[in-house]
Amino acid sequence: MVLLERLEQDLSKFFRLNDFGPDPAFSRFIPAVYEKTDLDWKREFEPEFTERFNGLMIRGGVEVGKIFLAVFPTEPILERFLEEGKRGDLLFMHHPITMECGDPRGDWGRGFIPIPTPLIRSIREKGLSIYTCHHPLDVHREVGTSLAIVEALGGNVIDSFFNECGLICELDETDTDSLIQQAEEIFDIPYVDFEGQKRENIRRIAVVAGCGDKISAMKEAEKKGAQAYLSGEIHCHIDNEYGRTRYREMMAYIRETSMSLIGVSHAASEYLVKKTRIKGWLEHRYGLECVLVPQVKWWM
Ligand SMILES: [Zn+2]
Ligand SMILES: [Zn+2]
């Protein structure tokens, strides 16, 4: 058992939450999505969380016995946490709200979706805790989301792009098809989203976990010599006007890029670090059991 208070302070120090301002994404999206629900989110979430949008979000029992690791608070993930978690247990996630980016071979997504109020109530009643860390985890120098992908690919970081969220790496020569196969294995996904050119002799790859479907970031990576671009998303498949406009703009850029663009799903791209770095780090540091909670479906 570890005291929640100690764990909270320790994690917040490790992720340097005080050095970052309010989370650039969730300081906008949390108010926006919860405004449309009946949840008084400012009262339900920890006061510090409602200002930083990172850190301890829901405070449960004082002692943590087990840590569950996931990326998004999807309903199946929260239901499993409720079923298996005991008073005081902690769910550590990258996102405080789910992001549905859509399935390139299936349904388009709904974008950001809030945690249903009844699930928040049940989590509180059971004395369970939730901690999330977004941007500070993406850019972390030891356990960053993009860094974990570079490591899994066997690459060496030589530069960054996209405001340090993306990393440029070099690796042993490969080609597009081998890279796609490698990505499917690393991320345990049935297929990738592919666009752009198929290439031989790939040595330099741009990697960005999550939403790398930004043309400006792709152009920057290409300028820095990347021959392939691997990200969670290479397309926005959000089922609204915004999503459809972004998709059209990307299709126009794709005609002119020389890179191989490979999407591995937003969720899987950010889950990897939990599996390869964070689980071991937490177990070693606190002697607590950590349970990985993968999603059943990564493309969503
Ligand atoms: Zn994300
Ligand atoms: Zn991320």
Measured in angstroms, how far is the CA atom of residue 39 from the centroid of ligand 2? 25
Ligand nearest to the backbone CA of 272:
2
Tokens linked to 14? 């490790």
* Gap between the Cα atoms of 286 and 152, Å rounded: 25
DSSP readout, the chain? -EEHHHHHHHHHHHTTGGGS-S-TTHHHHHHHHHTTSS--HHHHS-TTHHHHSSEEEE---SEE-EEEE-SS--HHHHHHHHHH--TT-EEEES-SSEEE---TTSPPB-EEEPPPHHHHHHHHHTT-EEEE--HHHHT-TTT-HHHHHHHHHT-EEEEEETTTTEEEEEEEEE-HHHHHHHHHHHHT-S--EEEE---SSEEEEEEEEEE---HHHHHHHHHTT-SEEEEEESS--BSSHHHHHHHHHHHHHHTT--SEEEE--HHHHHHHHIIIIIHHHHHHHH--EEEE---S-S--
If you measure from the C-alpha of residue 167 to the centroid of ligand 2, how many angstroms do you get, rounded to a whole number? 13
Q: How many whole angstroms from 138 Cα to the centroid of ligand 2?
A: 5
For residue 54, report the distance from its CA to the centre of ligand 1, in Å: 13
| Topology at the third CATH level for domain 2-138+269-292 | 3.40.1390
Residue 172 Cα, ligand 2 centroid: separation in angstroms? 26
Taking the CA of 166 as reference, the closest ligand is: 2
Q: Residue 9 C-alpha to ligand 1 middle, in angstroms?
A: 23
CA distance 61 to 45: 15
| Ion ligand 1 neighbours, Cβ < 5 Å | 210
Q: Which ligand neighbours the alpha carbon of 233 most closely? A: 1
Residue pair 169/205 in contact (Cβ under 8 Å)? The answer is: yes
pLDDT digits (tens, 9 = 90+) for 201-213: 999 999 999 999 9
Q: Rounded mean pLDDT of the chain?
A: 97
Instruction: Find the 100 Cα to ligand 1 centroid distance in Å.
Output: 10
- Which band of pLDDT confidence, cut at 50, 70 and 90, is reported for residue 62? very high
Tell me what the mean pLDDT of segment 88-96 comes to.
Answer: 98
Ligand nearest to the CA of 211: 1
Question: How far, in Å, from the CA of 1 to the mean position of ligand 1?
Answer: 30
Burial 62-82 (b: 16+ CB within 10 A, else e): ebbebbbbbbbbbeebbebbe
Q: Are strands 228-233 and 193-196 parallel, antiparallel or unpaired?
A: unpaired
What's at 13, amino acid-wise? Answer: K
Cα of 40 from ligand 1 centre, angstroms: 24
Q: Give 211 Cα–ligand 1 centroid separation in angstroms.
A: 6
Ligand 2 centre distance from Cα of residue 87 (Å) = 28
User: What spacing in Å lies between the alpha carbon of 63 and ligand 1's midpoint?
Assistant: 29
Give the Å distance between the CA of 56 and the centre of ligand 1: 18
Model's pTM, two decimal places?
0.97
Q: What is the pLDDT of residue 255?
A: 97
Q: Ligand 1 center to residue 95 CA distance, Å?
A: 6
Q: Which two tokens stand for residue 181?
A: 């196969």
pLDDT band of residue 141 (cuts 50, 70, 90) is very high
**Per-residue pLDDT reduced to its tens digit, 228-272:** 999 999 999 999 999 999 999 999 999 999 999 999 999 999 999
Q: Which architecture characterizes domain 145-264 according to CATH?
A: 3-Layer(aba) Sandwich (3.40)
Domain boundaries, the chain: 2-138+269-292, 145-264
Q: Once rounded to an integer, what is the mean pLDDT over residues 179-202?
A: 98
Distance in Å, CA 145 to ligand 2 centroid: 7
Same fold, 2-138+269-292 and 145-264: yes
Q: How far is the CA of 214 from the centre of ligand 1 (A)?
A: 14
Cα separation of 13 and 29, whole Å? Answer: 24
